[in-house]
Structure formats: structure tokens, C-alpha cells
């Protein structure tokens, strides 16, 4: 049996960030991921400057596709605004692999099925064991299912369903477009150009609301692609979107159980307004590592619950206060 100081289940941004900091502190760290990296991760791939700051990542040192937007084009019915805000786009296929390699931890391709506790250790599939266990396996994280699910179930009202596709595409419009509540979608759809000839298009909405309206994401997808075509943004004869669901942040009060920690989507930390999860995954990964290394409390306090798309402006602050009432 392979014994490590810490085992991180899941090598996405939450897991790799945690592993990176644990390695810095000199711990023997093993990352288990069911996928072979680089791997496809369904995601619009839009990252904030705050997330890059937390990752200590200077865009100039990042060797892969990277684009910066100084404004976003927001649409609602017939209205359109373009608030100034700095955002970036990356491709998760490249970004996650880069972060995982940078972490410097041993990575083993393995789909985790069982987790049990034994004499102060966590034993995984009778093959690996550790003193500290980090669940960073996204929505279906086995650490969440085995050690947290019974005491705290995620609220179904916070589940969002998505459909998206990243395509190699010679795009002409370098603007990032977002359409809100289009055709009754309880969420938004997007067109995000990427450097080196890629785009990501997709949509997501609160699953319960979609069900209550009798709507189907596939129908919204057809409407979205028709609109993109009509606007001359994308033309494609054979779309093959993929679906994934994850959770917006609710009252997350159970993210540590003994020496087991939950980070990122495993804990359900995506922002309530925009469903952005990369920044919260990174921030929670950093905090879990700090808790393991320094013995401090693992707390999510201060990790953004809202993206506040309109920036940290007065208007954005008002919206935030209103939503937090």
C-alpha cells in the first residue's frame, strides 16, 4: 500500500492548488485523478484577475492560450451594455494540466471508489493511505459521497445544468458576449473567444427552474446556435455539446471532517450569480493546504460568493448587498 502524508482526490484547479502548497511545505503528496491529463473539462474557461493572483500566476509567464477582455458585452432582451471589467479566457485543457504539473506532486491515474478510516489514516481502495485527505473531485467527488454526504446534502435548488462546446474556430469577433434569460432560460448563455483559434459557447441555468418550466437545455442550445449563426458569430454543421452539472454556493458549513477536507465543486462553491467556480476552487485549495500545514481553522469566510460581474463598483456593491439580505 502506498502511504503519503496527504492525498488529493481530483487534479482540477482546487486539487492542484492545494497539492502545490502542500508540496511547498515539504509534504509527500499524491494526487489521484481518474482522467489522463491533459483532459477535457467542460467550462467556459473564463478566469478573473483575482484567481490569477491567488495562483501567483503572471499572464506573461503562462505558456498557453490566454486572452484578456477589458469589457464584456451583456445582452438582455433588446438591451445591451458593455461594462468595463478585466477578465481573461484560458482553455481548461491546457490550464489544468499546467497547474497540475506545476504543483510538483506525484500524480496517479486512478478512479477512487472507496474511502474508509482506519487508525488515524484514510484508506483508499485498499491501495493508498494518508493522514490528510482532500476531496477535490468536483460534483461527483467520492470523498464528499463517502465522508460528508450523510451529514450534509447539497441543496437541489442550487444545482445548475449546463451544455457547452469548445471548438477550434477561426473567430472574427474578439468580444466576450453573455445573454441573460434568453427565451426563458433560467440562467445565461455565452460566446467566449480564446487565443490560438478556439471559442467556447454554452449555456447554463438552475436545473429546478428549468424543470418547472418544462424546458430542455437541448432546445435552448438550438436557439443559441441559431442566434450565433444569425449574428455571424459562429457557423458549424455538426455541434457536439457536452453536459455537466454542479452546485452554486449555499450555506456551506461542513467542509472539514477530521482530517478530511472538501474544496471547489466538491463543496459546491461556485458563485451564486454567475456560477464561476475556478476562483473559489483555487481559494479553498489554498485554505485547505494552510489548515493542514499550519493547523489553522479551515474556513471559507471571505471567499467570494458573488462574481459581481459589474465590477467592484458602487452599483455592484448595491446588488451584492441586496442579494445578501
Ligand X SMILES: Cc1cc2nc3c(=O)[nH]c(=O)nc-3n(C[C@H](O)[C@H](O)[C@H](O)COP(=O)(O)OP(=O)(O)OC[C@H]3O[C@@H](n4cnc5c(N)ncnc54)[C@H](O)[C@@H]3O)c2cc1C
Q: From the list 187, 202, 205, 241, which residue makes contact with ligand X (rule: CB under 6 A)? A: 202
**162 lies in the binding site for ligand X (CB under 6 A):** yes
Chain residue whose CB lies nearest ligand X: 277
Query: Is there a contact between 92 and 84 (Cβ–Cβ < 8 Å)?
Result: no
Distance of CA 75 to the CA centre of its chain: 23
The stretch near ligand X (CB under 6 A) out of 59-67, 80-88, 271-279, 297-305 is: 271-279
**246 lies in the binding site for ligand X (CB under 6 A):** yes
H helices of the chain, in order, are: 13-24, 49-54, 92-103, 142-143, 207-212, 217-230, 278-294, 314-324
Query: Least CB distance from residue 245 to ligand X, whole Å?
Result: 7
**Between 137 and 186, CB nearer to ligand X:** 137
**260 lies in the binding site for ligand X (CB under 6 A):** no
**105 lies in the binding site for ligand X (CB under 6 A):** no
The stretch near ligand X (CB under 6 A) out of 22-30, 132-140, 251-259, 298-306 is: 132-140
Number of CB atoms found within 10 A of residue 206's CB:
19
Q: From the list 278, 292, 303, 308, which residue makes contact with ligand X (rule: CB under 6 A)? A: 278
Query: Least CB distance from residue 117 to ligand X, whole Å?
Result: 18
Query: Is there a contact between 115 and 147 (Cβ–Cβ < 8 Å)?
Result: yes
Query: Least CB distance from residue 63 to ligand X, whole Å?
Result: 20
Which residues inside 280-309 make contact with ligand X, applying CB under 6 A?
281
Query: Is there a contact between 311 and 83 (Cβ–Cβ < 8 Å)?
Result: yes
What are 180's strand-pairing partners?
76, 188
User: Can you list the pairs that 313-320 forms with residues at least 24 positions away whose Cβ atoms lie under 8 Å?
Assistant: none
**Between 43 and 207, CB nearer to ligand X:** 43
Q: Which helix (H) or strand (E) holds 89?
A: strand 84-90
The stretch near ligand X (CB under 6 A) out of 68-76, 225-233, 258-266, 288-296 is: 258-266
H helices of 164-234, in order, are: 207-212, 217-230
What would the x/- binding string for ligand X be over residues 31 to 60, using CB under 6 A?
A: -xxxx-----xxxxxx--------------
Q: From the list 4, 6, 7, 15, which residue makes contact with ligand X (rule: CB under 6 A)? A: 15
**107 lies in the binding site for ligand X (CB under 6 A):** no
Please return the burial class of 253, using the count of CB atoms within 10 Å of its CB with bins 0-12, 13-18 and 19+.
Answer: exposed
Query: Least CB distance from residue 203 to ligand X, whole Å?
Result: 8
**Between 179 and 318, CB nearer to ligand X:** 179
**224 lies in the binding site for ligand X (CB under 6 A):** no
Query: Least CB distance from residue 305 to ligand X, whole Å?
Result: 13
Residue 78: left (phi > 0), alpha (psi -120 to 50), or beta?
alpha
Distance CA 261, CA 14 (A): 11
Number of CB atoms found within 10 A of residue 215's CB:
16
**138 lies in the binding site for ligand X (CB under 6 A):** yes
**Between 27 and 281, CB nearer to ligand X:** 281
**Between 31 and 233, CB nearer to ligand X:** 31
Distance CA 242, CA 244 (A): 7
Under DSSP, the state recorded for 186 is S
Residue 181: left (phi > 0), alpha (psi -120 to 50), or beta?
left
Q: Which residues bind ligand X (CB under 6 A)?
A: 9-15, 32-35, 41-46, 111-112, 136-138, 140-142, 162, 164, 202, 204, 244, 246, 264-266, 270, 275-279, 281
Amino acid at each position: 500500500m502506498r502511504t503519503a502524508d496527504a492525498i488529493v482526490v481530483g487534479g482540477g484547479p482546487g486539487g492542484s492548488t492545494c497539492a502545490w502548497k502542500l508540496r511547498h511545505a515539504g509534504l509527500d503528496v499524491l494526487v489521484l485523478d481518474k482522467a489522463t491529463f491533459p483532459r477535457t473539462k467542460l467550462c467556459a474557461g473564463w478566469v478573473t484577475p483575482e484567481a490569477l493572483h491567488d495562483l501567483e500566476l503572471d499572464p506573461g509567464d503562462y505558456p498557453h492560450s490566454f486572452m484578456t477582455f477589458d469589457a464584456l458585452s451583456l445582452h438582455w432582451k433588446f438591451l445591451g451594455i458593455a461594462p468595463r471589467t478585466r477578465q481573461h479566457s484560458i482553455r481548461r485543457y491546457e490550464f489544468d494540466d499546467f497547474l497540475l504539473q506545476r504543483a510538483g506532486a506525484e500524480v496517479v491515474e486512478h478512479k477512487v471508489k472507496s474511502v474508509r478510516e482506519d487508525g488515524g489514516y484514510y484508506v483508499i481502495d485498499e491501495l493508498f493511505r494518508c493522514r490528510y485527505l482532500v476531496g477535490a473531485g468536483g460534483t461527483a467527488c467520492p470523498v464528499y459521497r463517502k465522508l460528508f454526504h450523510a451529514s450534509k446534502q447539497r441543496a437541489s435548488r442550487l444545482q445548475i445544468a449546463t451544455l457547452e462546446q469548445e471548438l477550434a474556430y477561426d473567430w472574427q469577433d474578439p468580444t466576450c458576449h453573455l445573454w441573460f434569460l434568453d427565451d426563458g432560460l433560467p440562467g445565461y448563455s455565452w460566446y467566449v473567444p480564446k487565443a490560438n483559434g478556439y471559442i467556447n459557447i454554452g449555456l447554463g441555468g438552475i436545473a429546478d427552474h428549468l424543470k418547472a418550466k418544462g424546458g430542455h437545455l437541448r432546445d435552448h442550445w438550438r436557439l443559441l446556435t441559431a442566434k450565433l449563426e444569425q449574428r455571424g458569430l459562429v457557423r458549424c454543421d455538426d455541434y457536439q455539446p457536452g453536459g455537466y452539472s454542479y452546485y452554486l454556493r449555499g450555506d456551506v458549513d461542513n467542509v472539514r471532517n477530521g482530517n478530511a477536507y472538501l474544496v471547489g465543486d466538491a463543496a459546491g462553491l461556485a458563485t451564486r450569480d454567475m456560477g464561476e467556480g475556478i476562483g473559489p476552487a483555487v481559494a479553498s485549495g489554498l485554505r485547505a493546504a494552510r489548515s493542514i500545514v499550519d493547523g489553522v481553522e479551515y474556513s471559507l469566510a471571505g471567499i467570494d460568493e458573488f462574481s459581481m460581474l459589474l465590477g467592484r463598483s458602487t452599483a455592484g456593491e448595491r446588488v451584492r448587498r441586496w442579494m445578501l439580505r
